[in-house]
């Protein structure tokens, strides 16, 4: 048997086991266990040229899981061990987008302080600002705008944060975005304004709000 091939196989088997344990440790918020595994050589699911096991359907990395759950200490640990701050999952989503969506303010601020791209877009063309707007995360919206995010930015698909907020039926967030300069009359690539989307998604209170701004 080829000795080099055997050694490579054994090495990959070891990494697979370490990575599996690391993913589960982060998911279960086990800080000391995660550090132990990183010290033992867990790779954060990044081995150049070698496909790795998918740990969930969207190929989320440990940093995605920490960001989604608001595990700030774990996120700091992963970044300390050189995980990529804007690492993408299968849908091109970044940890910052997840932290913004789930309202983890401190984690959002930490990721941005470490260089996370506030304008990074996912497969649908949406940045972290839109993710936050879609869930009514006011503090995160204001922070991202302070950091240079543009609430009037149109995604490659032609939607603004206001379009998505309208679809979600977030009345107070819609008011906030309009006050920040979002245009309720702006149409997306399908020729729909926020008002059109409010009607389409059966949000009567949103229709009233948007109509009041369009008079």
Go through 14-28 and write b for each residue having 16 or more CB atoms within 10 A of its CB, e for each that does not. Answer: ebeebbebbbbbbbe
Closest C-alpha to 76, from 55, 106, 43: 106
What is d(CA 214, CA 88) in angstroms, rounded to the nearest whole number? Answer: 39
Closest C-alpha to 185, from 151, 154, 213, 156: 213
Q: Who contacts 113 (Cβ-Cβ below 8 Å, separation ≥6)?
A: none
pLDDT tens column, 24-59 = 999 999 999 999 999 998 877 654 445 556 677 888
Phi, psi for residue 37 in degrees, rounded to 5: -70, -40
pTM (2 d.p.): 0.87
- Tens of each residue's pLDDT in the chain, 215 residues: 567 755 665 667 788 888 889 999 999 999 999 999 999 988 776 544 455 566 778 889 899 999 999 999 999 999 999 889 999 998 999 999 999 999 999 999 999 999 999 999 999 889 999 999 988 899 999 999 999 998 887 777 778 899 989 998 999 999 999 998 888 999 888 889 999 999 999 999 999 999 999 87
Closest C-alpha to 119, from 152, 146, 149, 94: 149
């Amino acid at each position: 048997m080829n000795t080099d091939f055997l050694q490579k196989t054994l090495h990959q088997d070891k990494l697979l086991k370490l990575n599996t344990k690391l993913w589960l440790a982060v998911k279960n918020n086990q800080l000391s266990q995660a550090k132990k595994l990183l010290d033992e050589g867990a790779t954060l699911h990044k081995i150049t040229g070698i496909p790795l096991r998918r740990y969930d359907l969207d190929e989320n990395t440990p940093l995605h899981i920490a960001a989604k759950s608001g595990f700030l200490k774990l996120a700091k640990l992963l970044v300390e061990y050189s995980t990529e701050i804007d690492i993408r999952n299968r849908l091109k989503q970044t940890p910052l987008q997840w932290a913004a969506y789930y309202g983890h303010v401190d984690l959002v601020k930490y990721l941005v302080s470490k260089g996370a791209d506030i304008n990074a877009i996912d497969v649908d063309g949406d940045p972290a600002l839109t993710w936050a707007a879609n869930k009514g995360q006011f503090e995160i919206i204001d922070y991202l705008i302070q950091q240079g995010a543009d609430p009037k930015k149109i995604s490659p698909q032609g939607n603004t944060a206001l379009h998505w907020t309208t679809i979600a039926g977030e009345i107070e967030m819609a008011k906030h975005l309009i006050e920040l300069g979002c245009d309720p009359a702006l149409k997306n690539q399908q020729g729909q304004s926020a008002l059109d989307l409010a009607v389409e998604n059966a949000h009567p209170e949103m229709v009233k709000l948007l109509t009041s701004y369009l008079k």
